[in-house]
Chains A and B, each alone.
Chain A
Amino acid sequence: MFSLGKYDALTYTDSRGGCRLNYDGGKRERTHMNMSGILVVAKPEQCEEVAAALAKLPGIEVFQKDVESGKIVIVQEATSIEQEADGARVIQQIPGVITVNMVYHYFADDPSLKYPSSETAELSSY
């Protein structure tokens, strides 16, 4: 039976557009692949530094950058949506970053992409 008594651990959609999927983040979603194509816009003069800082973040691969416009294309991989949003927040705080924009989000439940448990651990260690 469903109980709202154990309220703290429940998922909800709030009244103004916020949402929370679940408190455990990715722990329950081992076969769930979340991959996102993200456009990071950096101050052009700091583009290289930002790209270098991005490359060091776990789960993130830098694919393309345009030093003139400060545009950097990265792909982020994570085991949960919380982790992704969280990662985006980390990116936002890199000095020189102006905006972080999500362009493409793939999140299929894909058993062929099952993560070995060691990998999960690594990916969740933001």
Chain B
Amino acid sequence: MTSLSRREFMKKSIAATTAATVGLPVTKAALAQARNAEAGWKWDKSVCRFCGTGCGEQVATFEGKIVAIKGDPDAPVNRGLNCIKGYFNGRILYGEDRLTQPLMRMKNGKFDKTGDFVPVTWEQAFDEITAQFKRVYKEKGPAAVAMLTSGQSLVQEGYAAAKLMKGGFRSNNIDPNARLCMASAVVGFYQTFGIDEPANCYDDFELADITVLWGNNMAEAHPILWSRATDRRLAAKDSRIINITTYRNMCSDIADLEIIFKPNTDLAILNYIAREMVQRNAVNMDFVNKHCVFATGPVDIGYGMRPTDKFAFPAEKDTQAQQLKHTIDKYEAIAQRRKEGTVAETAKAAPDAHWQISYDEFKRGLEPYTLDFVAELAKGDPDESLNAFKNKLKQLADYYISGRQKNILSLWCMGVNQHVRGVWVNEQIYMLHLLLGKHGTPGNGAFSLTGQPSACGTAREVGTFSHRLPADMLVANGAHRARTEKLWKLPAKTLNPKVGTALMVAMRGLEDGSVNFVWTQTVNLFQSVPNTNHWLKAARDPKNFIVVADSYPTLSGKVADVILPAAMINEKWGGYGNAERRMQVWRQRVNAPGQARADVWMMLEFSKRFTLKEVWGELPLPGLKVDGFPENKMPSVLEEAKKMGYNEDMTLYEVLFAHADNKKFAWPDPVAKGEDNTVVKLLGDGWFVEKALFEEYRQFTVGHQHDLASFDEYYADNVRGLRWPIVNGKETKWRFSEGNDPYVKPGEGYNFYGPLLKATGTGDLDGVKDATPKPLPGRAKIFFRPYAAYPEQLSKEYDLQLCTGRILEHWHTGSMTRRVPELHRAAPSAVLYMHEADAQARGLKHQDLTWVETRRGKIKMILDTRGRNKVAKGTIFGAFFDEGVQVNQLTLDATDPLSLEPDYKKSAAKVYKA
């Protein structure tokens, strides 16, 4: 075949397969031709590695390479479709700059912090990493080392890293980048339901009559879910989509109602809707009385910044001071029923404290949130009239209160979570649905979406957070530690009861000297955390040692001491869990290039370099003060370990991983269907690592409301992931409601059985009146949370609100280089969206090169006043994906004080011509 005819042939085949996949008519001959085009290929199921939607795909290999990817028509999530990001799934393995060798900073043949990167062997890399780890660990103990992982880590990788850190090194300093996107959602779940993860599922997209997006640009962040939502909108004439956002985005094109609000005023809008429910008698009192309690917590909780300005840049000090003292502004005064100008002190509050209140108190809290007040506070577009905005708010309330026969689905993601009061907003959205009694049933619910492909499955469910153990258990809970020690066969008191460093705390630790060793996996933290100028410098401090395991060079790699080349998705066995509790798996299909290796192998190899006596003896742990533990240290558990049959010269590899139970899972295994397993081959001792670790992890889940199916069940040909809890072979679509959730007994109707935080004191809006814990079994909490301002308000100097986020076009440079070729490479710059009028006022025009400056740094960006993200006056928007444009040098590292998740969306900035 000539080149041209082969191309035509391929094209026709692809068209036929595409049409067939999406259900359009295709002739038999065309399909047969399509099959011919794929002669010799091997197709198998896999999962998209990009977002939390969790689209299923089919991956074709031919002669040891991936040659094609298609949306899996049998995958219920995406039914054959992928979004544009799907393009990258296959080719991402074959970028020219894949890391294929360990690299270490060297001078004169030895590691040197000031040296250049030189390729080294794995052995050399491990020797140096181990020596550095032991240096820090011996001197300062488990609190000075940290492992920072990812919501893109595979389930088994997360499990191995968590077990090694917590069970082996007795350090809770493991935290995922999911801290940066989902932590607020998690605390919202814990406080409201006592258990993590959504009650709803994607089936609701076709069942909802009204879909409300709360600060969630689904069209770009979750495109396939968006296509399900828009399909529904087009198919069901009476259905509606409402887009509540701080700037006009693509979702507005289809939305029936668009509400542009000022940052942080979502808190007030939600209370307005709740107030309307009360006023219009729309509260489902029967449901509320049977299944809920009302609750609230302290108001002055700060902004998750450090309580000292010792490390702040001079320009940062005024913002930093807000952490300790905040002056109540005129809107907060009304919203919180206090006097304008009051100085609120935050130092003493326990942000996560909360207590039960009466329904009357709850109503009293809502009282100030009238339409007039909220409209004036929340209107986000200066060009919109107050009346028009009021009408929109009223419509929004009407939609929520549109009666029993209408199904309503509320959706959110980063916009709510990356928010200095993100936990509160999560809780308020549950508030609306609980007041209506519309949650966790077909088509009805408050559904927290997720950004990363396994933020749910790995980071949250396996528990790679500094406060968590597998299956929703907590390190601070003695019974949970005991259960974990039993399943992991560890001596009692091996596990550390003190919550470890959350991600932001670990970064700050590098700067303040409390953390000296950091290993990152599948995460580019020195680009993705806010306020990076601090941490970039700290990484290069001679006392600190940074290991970056990744597949491509990143900014984090640039400031590392050792770079380890990591295998990627289809180069290893693994699984991801998406936002609807669906765990999905794939096989290793191709070999990783060069010496790139799977993260799980790195963890296991590393564990071979530690004997029990190095880690299970007495260890310093400054600040430890917990019943049953000595002060400021972890006790030796070596004697106990000996009684259990261990000896102190055994390695962590033997004790934690290659133990007899795991070795029962032998490789090869028929489930492989002829595919390879590089991890097993490299370890060389014949056990099926990924299967054994999965089955070990699964024991935590079964019978504990998180039941996973067996490894082999997920690999069955007809399975495209299963939604847990999976009881008696049946998956669960909706949790907590009778008939849907196997943990709810007949006659209960609902049971919010989540076990955490299920007894609190009681009080009123102002505080606890009776601290005696009052149990609330089977009930969810309806929180009253007041409006609160964000810390860095606009000033004369910094007069624009900088919001950051992700947008599609910033992933690749084609669009950018085409627009401004002369700037390519010379000054690689991403786009800053600004309103035309704001640009004019500064003497700027579309495509000008500008400086964007905050108290923390300044960067160059190209102005865009015509993009499809149409910001309101006073707001600017910059994406953080461009490595040439470090937007996070600008962002404030304030966090939600409960979740410690940063708020990337509200930094005060100024913009001027470069």
- Encode contact with B along A1-26: 1 for CB under 8 Å, 0 otherwise: 11111011111111111111111010
CB-CB under 8 A for A85 and B811, given A75-B15, A106-B68:
yes
Cβ 8 A contact of A86, one of B69, B70, B812 = B812
B818 within 8 A of A: yes
Q: Which residue of A lies closest to B414 (CB)?
A: A16
Q: Find out whether the CB atom of B84 lies under 8 angstroms from the CB atom of A107.
A: no
Query: In the complex, what distance in Å separates the CA atom of A39 from the CA atom of B12?
Result: 15
Decide if B814 touches A85 in the complex (CB within 8 Å): yes
Given known contacts A63-B15, A75-B14, A39 and B68 CB-to-CB distance under 8 angstroms: no
Please report which residues of chain B, range 245-282, place their CB below 8 angstroms from some CB of chain A when the two chains form the complex: 250, 253-254
A20's contact among B49, B62, B527, B811, by CB below 8 Å, is which? Answer: B811
Partner of A103, one of B80, B550, B558, B813: B80
Knowing A15-B150, A25-B813, A41-B230, the reply to whether A101 touches B83 (Cβ < 8 A) is yes
Stretch of B19-27, B778-786, B838-846 on the interface side: B19-27
- Check: B132 CB closer than 8 A to any chain A CB: no
If A16-B177, A41-B230 touch, whether A104 touches B811 (CB-CB below 8 Å) is no
Which of A5, A15, A126 lies at the interface centre, i.e. has the most chain B CB atoms within 10 A of its CB? A15
CB–CB A15/B177 < 8 A: yes
The stretch of B219-227, B665-673, B768-776 in contact with A is B219-227
A96 to B314, CA, bound (A): 51
Is the Cβ of B88 less than 8 Å from the Cβ of A21?
yes
A19 neighbours in B (Cβ, 8 Å): 88, 92, 95, 552, 811
**Contact bitstring A54-85, B, C-beta under 8 A = 1, else 0:** 00000001011010001101110100011111
Q: How far is the CA of A104 from the CA of B295 in the complex (A)?
A: 50
Q: Which residue in B95, B231, B881 is a CB contact (below 8 Å) of A11?
A: B95
Whether a CB of chain A sits under 8 angstroms from the CB of B29 is: no
Contacting residues of chain A (26-71) with chain B, CB-CB under 8 angstroms: 28, 33-39, 41, 43-44, 61, 63-64, 66, 70-71
Greatest chain A CB density within 10 A among B87, B97, B811 is at B87
Taking the closest CB of chain A, its distance from the CB of B176, in whole angstroms, is 10
Q: Which of A88, A100, A126 contacts B818 (CB 8 A)?
A: A126
By the criterion CB–CB under 8 Å, are B96 and A22 in contact?
yes
Could you say which residues of chain A place their CB within 8 Å of the CB of B514? none
B808 contacts the other chain (CB 8 A): yes
Chain A CB within 8 A of B85 CB: yes
The smallest C-beta distance from B593 to any residue of chain A, in angstroms, reads 13
B contact residues around A33 at 8 Å (CB): 7, 10
The yes or no answer to B528 lying at the interface (CB within 8 A) is yes
A113 CB–B CB distance under 8 Å: yes
A19-B92, A101-B71, A112-B6 known; A75+B181 contact, CB < 8 A = no
Q: Is the CB of A84 within 8 A of B119?
A: no
Contact A17 B67 (CB under 8 A): no
B883 within 8 Å of A by Cβ?
yes
A21–B92 CB distance below 8 A:
yes
Question: Is there an interface contact between A101 and B15, defined as CB atoms closer than 8 Å?
Answer: no
If A19-B88, A103-B70, A112-B6 touch, does A14 touch B14 (CB 8 Å cutoff)? Answer: no
The verdict on A120 contacting chain B, using a C-beta distance below 8 Å, is no
| B14–A2 CB distance below 8 A | no
- Is A2 a contact partner of B117 (Cβ separation < 8 A)? yes
Decide: B814 and A13 in contact? CB cutoff 8 A: no
Question: Are A35 and B11 in touch, CB under 8 angstroms?
Answer: yes
CB distance from B655 to the nearest CB of A (A): 32
Q: Are the CB atoms of B227 and A101 closer together than 8 Å?
A: yes
Give the contacting residue for A75; candidates B11, B116, B523; CB below 8 A.
B11
Complex alpha-carbon distance, A77 and B632, angstroms: 64
B603 within 8 A of A: no
Contact of B71 among A81, A103, A107, A112 (CB under 8 A): A103
Residues of B within 8 A of A7 (CB): 553, 555, 558, 883
Known A2-B103, A4-B557, A41-B227: A71·B22 in contact at CB below 8 Å: yes
Question: In this assembly, does B660 line the interface, its C-beta being within 8 Å of a C-beta of chain A?
Answer: no
Does residue B525 face the partner (Cβ distance < 8 Å to A)?
yes
Contact of A13 among B224, B227, B452, B552 (CB under 8 A): B552
Give 11 A-B contacts (CB < 8 Å), ordered by A residue.
Answer: A1-B118, A2-B119, A7-B883, A14-B881, A21-B812, A33-B7, A73-B19, A83-B814, A84-B87, A105-B68, A106-B67
Kindly list 19 other residue pairs between chains A and B, CB separation below 8 angstroms, not including A4-B553, A99-B219, A105-B87.
A2-B119, A3-B117, A7-B558, A12-B554, A15-B152, A17-B49, A20-B812, A33-B7, A36-B87, A37-B15, A61-B11, A73-B18, A82-B813, A88-B87, A98-B253, A99-B230, A104-B68, A105-B89, A108-B68
Question: Which positions in B face A, CB cutoff 8 Å?
Answer: 1, 3, 6-7, 10-12, 14-15, 17-19, 21-22, 24, 49-51, 62, 65, 67-71, 80-92, 95-98, 101, 103, 116-119, 150, 152, 177, 180-181, 219, 223-224, 226-227, 230-231, 234, 250, 253-254, 451-453, 522-525, 527-528, 550-555, 557-558, 806, 808-815, 817-818, 824-825, 828, 868, 881, 883-884
